[in-house]
Structure 1
Amino acid sequence: MSLTLGVIADDYTGASDLANTLTKESVRTLQTIGVPDAALALPDADAVVVSLKSRSVPAEEAVKMSLAACAWLKARGASHILFKVCSTFDSTDAGNIGPVTDALRLATGAAIVPVTPAFPETGRTVFMGHLFVGTVPLNESPLKDHPLNPMTDADLRRVLARQSTGRVGLVPLKDVAAGVDAIRARLEALALDGRTAAIVDAVFDADLVAIGAAAAGLPLSTGASGLGLGLARALVAGGRVLSQAGDGGAITQGIAGLAAAVAGSCSAATLEQIAVAERVMPVLRLSAERLVTHPDEEVADALAWAKGRLAAGPVLIAASDNPEQVAQVQARFGRTAAGLAVEHGTAAISQGLVAAGVRRLVIAGGETSGASVDRLGLPAFLVGPEIAPGVPLLRTAGQAGEPMVLALKSGNFGGPDFFARAFALMGAGVA
């Protein structure tokens, strides 16, 4: 396998989001779970997205995992590495975006790293270095209540500088609007000034195309799926990748079996989606407290509930809750213990559902998706058609047993009817 673009994603749903973007741009894309085993047979691809579960682990561990992925991608010919992060830049002052970017910069020999989480299609824009979610600054959005990485500062220069060893500059919108040469010139000037990273403004998709063209000639960039869109278009336009439309129907071909969804995200979007799903399918709401105090019993009860209903159609099991209830559980048991209990519980439920015959599985939430995919031992995915912006259908590849079709949804993505839409595209419609 000889690659052009290598991607290191800091969570599984973000990896699917980026793989979806590349596939829409007709780039042959494969998503792997972790650094692939040498014995794993992989189909040819122009881009490989290595999915890590490194967003919320200790920074030292995230750096180690990311460097291993970088070495694997470079050994297979990747000329550009994209460190894919969330479009809401989820990262505490201890990391992990800064430490990983610093380490990858040294590993790739980059003088400066362009950084932008902008993705206008999903409402994420950057202006004067400040990240906006829709019409509000990041620190005024629901992300301020994120259970693991609460975002309380919209100025990405400050956020990145607090966790980086180098100095952070800015490529303002006026330079981005002036085009590729102006972006390159600004990055070169910042590098000469001793800056090792630069937040790049982007408000429109056209901005991402210009940024991608400028970044494609560098060894490393950091950003969300919007930057992946720009890179893909630059690589296709430059003839470094041959544009090839994929066969979306092949993703679900030959897959039948039961259908279910598991949700662990507490985002406002997912909470609304669960409420809408209750109108058309059975929904079980888990007790976060019992997942901490009596996890085996809560998981067993949830699986028993599901097994009595799966034959009639899709079901949804949700550990999601509103910020006030989450805060109460965290105050009682600690943020880390409460978060791990939800991850482990939802992963065990996903495993139990597959054991019960589920072959069409929707998972909502980055941490929930990562824990579930790890528990299921799925090594790689072929990327299919889009369910919602940033969320593709995925077909398992390389694993023993029957193939499955999945959707791994970041908490904030998708419209109110996301679950029903996902099941319909999987061929498991609801009433």
Structure 2
Amino acid sequence: MLLGVIADDFTGASDIANTIACGDGRSGGMITSQYMGIPSNPADPSVEAGVISLKTRSSPKDEAVAQSLQALRWLKAQGCEQIVFKYCSTFDSTAEGNIGPVAQALAAELGVGGVVVCPAFPRAGRTIYQGHLFVHDRLLNESGMQNHPLTPMTDADIRRWLSSQVEGPVGMVPLQTVRRGSEVLAQALVQGGQQLVVVDAVEDADLRLIGRACAGAPLVTGGSGVALGLPANFIRQGQVQGRSGNSFLGIEGPEAILAGSCSGATRGQIEQHAKRHPVLPISVDHVMAETIGVPQVLSFIMEHAGRAPLVYSSGTPEQVREAQGRYGREAVSATLDNLFATTAQAFLNNGGKRLVVAGGETSGAVAQALDLGEVMIGPEIDPGVPILISARRNAVLALKSGNFGQQDFFEKATRMLAGAPA
């Protein structure tokens, strides 16, 4: 294994695994496996890039740092020459969050400075200019992310936001320096002496330059886009041949869609899906009162097998705040995650084969509950969302970040999991 990734949630892990497996579209990608948690056994020798999925995005700093360092040590033991710390392309983290502390702990463990911080993902509309993160044409704090129920982002200045989390100054490399070339960029990363450096990127070409500048860098941090140019470095050095194509044939069988995200994108996808497919809304009040549970949800799914049934608990920011006010934020999140996770278990145990999950926290809870083990990366459904193939479960999945996917994502995903073309 040459390239190792530590991802702070399960959908983000799938996202960057997809980027590495596909490569930059020119020279090919790497043979990539995703691990649901830190493995206890050595990796298969054929794996060139390994992505460890953690569920630390909303964890206390000490817990997130400890798990990330444990993941780092396993990856180094597999021979990894470069480590990527992957977080969300909307930098989901409060001012007291753990992205900065984890990045600093990894840098200290590896003894490096001038570490890239770049959550840009242009294909999904996330760009960084003058250190500010945009979602399409809106500053991050005006994009809806300011209403996130767990990690509200109220400032688009990533350098300022990160500075509140770390010790010491945070550097910044502007776009005009990036576009002067990879050699100039590599020098700019270290000349200021800062441990962490925010780097602008507004196009895939910028990410390729960043990737080339990071050839040989022990640590890189960012969204999935930051890995776009990394496989090409190993290919140029003759360490890997470059993966191309995919032989995924799909799996037939019962399908289910579980959506726990409250993002605007997911709410729109639910509305679109409901026009042609059966949907079951889950009331927070009913779940908290235990008047609806796994038996009722599973019955709905199996009754509508073959019609892409969707079960969701997804409300407007106002509805989310009201529910959190009645029951407490942590209680609502934990109860809904448990319902979706145990439903997913029951679904696969009853012959389910195709599972789509929306929402980072929900996906993490489901993936942990299913004990998927190592999963292989299949074709891309939409930017940032690949098919995941679990040999242990003889099932296929798609784990979608709340903000990702086109309007018809749910219908398209269930078809592609069965082997249909995009």
Q: Which band: TM-score by shorter chain?
A: over 0.9
User: SS at 2:164's partner residue?
Assistant: helix
The aligned residue for residue 36 of structure 2 is 33
Matches of 2:412 and 2:358, distance apart in 1: 14
Q: Which sections of structure 2, spanning at least 5 residues, go unmatched?
A: 24-28
User: SS at 2:271's partner residue?
Assistant: helix
CA deviation string 1:282-309 (max 9, x = no partner): 10010122222327x3333222222322
TM-score, L = length of structure 2: 0.95
The aligned residue for residue 85 of structure 2 is 83
Alignment of 1:14 with 2:12, yes or no, is: yes
The aligned residue for residue 362 of structure 1 is 356
The aligned residue for residue 282 of structure 2 is 286
Matches of 1:114 and 1:266, distance apart in 2: 30
CA deviation string 1:233-286 (max 9, x = no partner): 333233333202243325x2xx33211110101111110101111112110010
Cα deviation for residue 92 of structure 1 reads 1.1
The aligned residue for residue 422 of structure 1 is 413
The aligned residue for residue 199 of structure 2 is 200
Matches of 2:195 and 2:325, distance apart in 1: 39
Q: Are the equivalent residues in 2 in contact too, given 1:148–1:339 (CA < 8 A)?
A: no
Q: Decide whether aligned partners of structure 1 residues 23 and 139 sit closer, same or farther in structure 2, where only a CA change above 3 A counts.
A: same
Cα deviation for residue 187 of structure 1 reads 1.1
User: SS at 1:302's partner residue?
Assistant: helix
Cα deviation for residue 27 of structure 1 reads 1.2
The aligned residue for residue 275 of structure 1 is 271
Q: Are the equivalent residues in 2 in contact too, given 1:9–1:50 (CA < 8 A)?
A: yes
The aligned residue for residue 332 of structure 1 is 326
CA deviation string 1:176-208 (max 9, x = no partner): 0101111111112112xxx11000000111110
Q: Are the equivalent residues in 1 in contact too, given 2:87–2:222 (CA < 8 A)?
A: yes
Q: Decide whether aligned partners of structure 1 residues 325 and 284 sit closer, same or farther in structure 2, where only a CA change above 3 A counts.
A: same
Matches of 1:233 and 1:280, distance apart in 2: 42
The aligned residue for residue 399 of structure 2 is 408
Residue type at the aligned position of 2:372? L
Cα deviation for residue 231 of structure 1 reads 1.5
Alignment of 1:220 with 2:214, yes or no, is: no
Cα deviation for residue 329 of structure 1 reads 0.2
Q: Are the equivalent residues in 2 in contact too, given 1:4–1:47 (CA < 8 A)?
A: yes
Matches of 1:182 and 1:141, distance apart in 2: 33
Q: Are the equivalent residues in 1 in contact too, given 2:14–2:34 (CA < 8 A)?
A: yes
Matches of 1:104 and 1:374, distance apart in 2: 24
Cα deviation for residue 112 of structure 1 reads 2.4
Matches of 1:209 and 1:319, distance apart in 2: 38
Residue type at the aligned position of 1:317? V
Residue type at the aligned position of 2:46? D
TM-score, L = length of structure 1: 0.93
User: SS at 1:87's partner residue?
Assistant: coil
- Measured on the aligned residues, the alpha-carbon RMSD in Å equals 1.5
Q: Which sections of structure 1, spanning at least 5 residues, go unmatched?
A: none
The aligned residue for residue 299 of structure 1 is 294
Percent of residue pairs bearing the same amino acid type: 47
Matches of 1:279 and 1:245, distance apart in 2: 37
Q: Decide whether aligned partners of structure 1 residues 248 and 272 sit closer, same or farther in structure 2, where only a CA change above 3 A counts.
A: farther
The aligned residue for residue 63 of structure 2 is 61
Q: Are the equivalent residues in 1 in contact too, given 2:363–2:399 (CA < 8 A)?
A: yes
For residues 248-263 of structure 1, what are the structure 2 equivalents within 5 Å?
248-250=247-249, 252=250, 255-263=251-259
Matches of 2:390 and 2:323, distance apart in 1: 35
Cα deviation for residue 68 of structure 1 reads 0.6
Cα deviation for residue 41 of structure 1 reads 6.4
The aligned residue for residue 158 of structure 1 is 160
The aligned residue for residue 45 of structure 1 is 47
The aligned residue for residue 26 of structure 2 is none
Matches of 1:248 and 1:272, distance apart in 2: 32
Matches of 2:105 and 2:419, distance apart in 1: 44
Question: Where do 4+ consecutive residues of structure 1 move more than 6 Å?
Answer: none
Cα deviation for residue 43 of structure 1 reads 5.8
User: SS at 1:163's partner residue?
Assistant: coil
Cα deviation for residue 70 of structure 1 reads 0.3
Residue type at the aligned position of 2:254? L
Alignment length (residue pairs)? 415
User: SS at 2:208's partner residue?
Assistant: helix
Matches of 1:404 and 1:414, distance apart in 2: 21
